[in-house]
Amino acid sequence: MRRVVVTGLGALTPIGNNVREYWDGLEKGVSGSGMITRFNAEKFKTRFACELKGYNSADYFERKESNKLDLYAQYALIAADEAVKDSGLDLEKSNRDRIGVIWASGIGGIETFYRSIRDHVLGDGTPRFSPFFIPKMIADIAAGTISIKYGFKGPNFATVSACASSTNALIDAINYIRLDKADIFVSGGSEASINEPGIGGFNALQAISTNNDEYKTASRPFDHTRDGFVLGEGAGALIVEEYNHAKARGAKIYAELTGTGMTADAYHITAPHPEGIGAISVMKLALKDAGIKPEDVDYINVHGTATPLGDISEAKAIVNVFGEHAFKLNISSTKSMTGHLLGAAGAIEAIAAIMSLTKDIIPPTINFKVPDPQIDPNLNLTANTAQERKVRIAISNTFGFGGHNASVVLKKADS
């Protein structure tokens, strides 16, 4: 099969509004959590989240354009633009029939949906919907809008698998290139769910932290005192390209995408299997696809949401798959800094793994203080401080509500 590499990156995150700022925040262990400013959260159980900092749509879009775009689609366009520019693609010389877009969102335009329904219900009952209500809301519109902007006419669609969505988008891009259906994809995900239904819904599920007194350190994966994830927002974009195509145009190559895995727990709509059977099988499939042994892996960017059940399940799965080598590799959850970006999580975490390959630095799991007795104490969680390490192969894990599991194996460029 054709080899697949990453030649461009773009990020819009709670700890940095581009890839350089994002990586700097990860390396320094910066928390993106703060009290919610997007709406009045006083009556909610959770009053904090990982919002974007200093985001103003007017900095990126004309007012007429931004009015047609839900926040999640705005975030998608911004991250994709950074990635396209970073890739060095000459759009005038590129065969845009062979460039596609596979973009993910776990929820899509929930902000648009909520505001539109609220305004209708609170009125006199007369239907008053914007003509942009449907196109702003649907989860595939980001992929369509990116393709329209650049004239990319290759395969174009959205993937939705909850928190695994953008890893599934990345896997689809890899496989379409392997099968010679395209040469390049813009792949990634975006999410904008810090609003009343987002916070209220996850509160009702008891999935997010309610530690308002310690909001800055509330995202604490693997810590015994964790009480749920912290909701985040933003986007991550990757330019995924066939290896020889990238070499022929002299592109810089960040990393090679060598293995993928996709499984389902078939267990529960929100809880992971307690023994991590889906996580075990998905990592084994990714390793097999990459043609490598467990001991070849240096770093795992884990799903690590800081939920009581999820972290234990994933830790058990890692020990099962990697055996004694589990205690020699580095593990970290960058959600401790960014919060959980839901459908965009896989994209920004794949970028974190790629940067660890290029920089030979493992970003930390911050806010870790009290070990959980149900998690093996010999695992190197890269607690609180980044660690230098030669990183040749990394794995990025994402798991979603519904039992969706997705993993990708990334290899240092030309190693």
Task: Report CA Rg, the chain.
Answer: 20
Q: How many CA atoms lie within 13 A of 1 on its CB side?
A: 16
DSSP, collapsed to helix, strand or coil, labels residue 401 as coil
Rounded to 10°, the helix 141-150/71-87 angle is 40
Residue 163 bears catalytic tag:
yes
Residue 245 bears catalytic tag:
no
Residue of 245, 273, 340, 404 with catalytic role: 340
**CB 327 within 8 Å of CB 379:** yes
Residue of 163, 245, 273, 404 with catalytic role: 163
Q: Which two tokens stand for residue 91?
A: 């759009």
Residue of 50, 245, 273, 303 with catalytic role: 303
Residue 303 bears catalytic tag:
yes
**CB 385 within 8 Å of CB 367:** no
Q: How far apart are CA 270 and CA 354, in angstroms?
A: 29
Q: 255-264 and 404-412: which strand pairing? A: antiparallel
Q: How far apart are CA 277 and CA 288, in angstroms?
A: 17
Segments in 140-242 forming alpha helices (H): 141-150, 165-178, 196-205
Annotated catalytic residues are: 163, 303, 340
